Amino acid sequence: MIEVVTVDITTLDVSAVVNAANSTLLGGGGVDGAIHRAAGPRLQAHCGTLGGCPVGQARMTPGFGLRAPWIIHTVGPVWQGGSQGEADLLQACYTNSFELAVAKGLDSIAFPGISTGAYGYPVEQAAVLALETMQLYRFKVPRIVACCFSDRDARVYGKLLSGSTV
Residues with catalytic roles: 32
Give the phi and the psi of residue 134 in degrees, each rounded to 5: -60, -40
Min separation Cβ 85 and ligand ADP, Å: 16
Kindly identify the residues of this chain, within the stretch 14-43, that bind ligand ADP according to CB under 6 A: 20, 30-32, 34
Dihedral (Cα; 154, 8, 65, 77), 10-degree rounding: 50
Give the phi and the psi of residue 132 in degrees, each rounded to 5: -60, -45
- Distance (Å, whole) CA 114 – CA 145: 13
In order, the DSSP letters of 16-48 are EEEEEE-TT-S--SHHHHHHHHHH-HHHHHHHT
Sole binder of ligand ADP in the list 9, 18, 58, 68 (CB under 6 A): 9
- Tell me, what DSSP letter sits at residue 10? G
Kindly identify the residues of this chain, within the stretch 42-71, that bind ligand ADP according to CB under 6 A: none
Judged by CB under 6 A, does residue 77 bind ligand ADP? no
Min separation Cβ 139 and ligand ADP, Å: 25
Kindly identify the residues of this chain, within the stretch 131-160, that bind ligand ADP according to CB under 6 A: 147, 149, 153
Between 82 and 165, CB nearer to ligand ADP: 82
Min separation Cβ 80 and ligand ADP, Å: 13
Judged by CB under 6 A, does residue 126 bind ligand ADP? no
Closest by alpha carbon to 21, among 53, 65, 64, 62? 53
What are the residues binding ligand ADP (CB under 6 A)? 8-10, 20, 30-32, 34, 76, 112-119, 147, 149, 153
